């Protein structure tokens, strides 16, 4: 069963912070696009949230650790959360 991580900015962004959040998202895309479904369109239009989908359950911890390192690099570790969520799918 594939997993989903939600990446969320926890403060109200101004234009500079929004730009930083999207730049961080673009690095996430580059680092993880081979391992999961991540949309550059979703990242480029994100205001506070984007998702990494279809992550193999054995890779979830590794993906989260990689994202924490990128957050540290972007000095956003205190204002962005990464949480596993359950997405509902309608049949």
Please list the pLDDT of the chain residue by residue as tens digits (91 residues): 789 999 999 999 999 999 999 999 999 999 999 999 999 999 999 999 999 999 999 999 999 999 999 999 999 999 999 999 987 654 4
- CA 54 to CA 38: how far, in whole Å? 9
Sequence-ordered alpha helix ranges (H) in the chain: 15-32, 40-45, 60-73
């Amino acid at each position: 069963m594939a997993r989903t991580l939600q990446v969320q900015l926890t403060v109200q962004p101004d234009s500079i912070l929004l730009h930083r959040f999207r730049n961080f998202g673009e690095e996430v895309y580059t680092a993880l696009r081979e391992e999961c479904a991540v949309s550059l369109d979703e990242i480029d239009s994100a205001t506070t949230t984007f998702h990494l989908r279809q992550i193999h359950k054995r890779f979830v911890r590794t993906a989260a650790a990689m994202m924490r390192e990128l957050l540290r690099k972007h000095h956003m570790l205190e204002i962005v959360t990464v949480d596993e969520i359950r997405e509902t799918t309608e049949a």
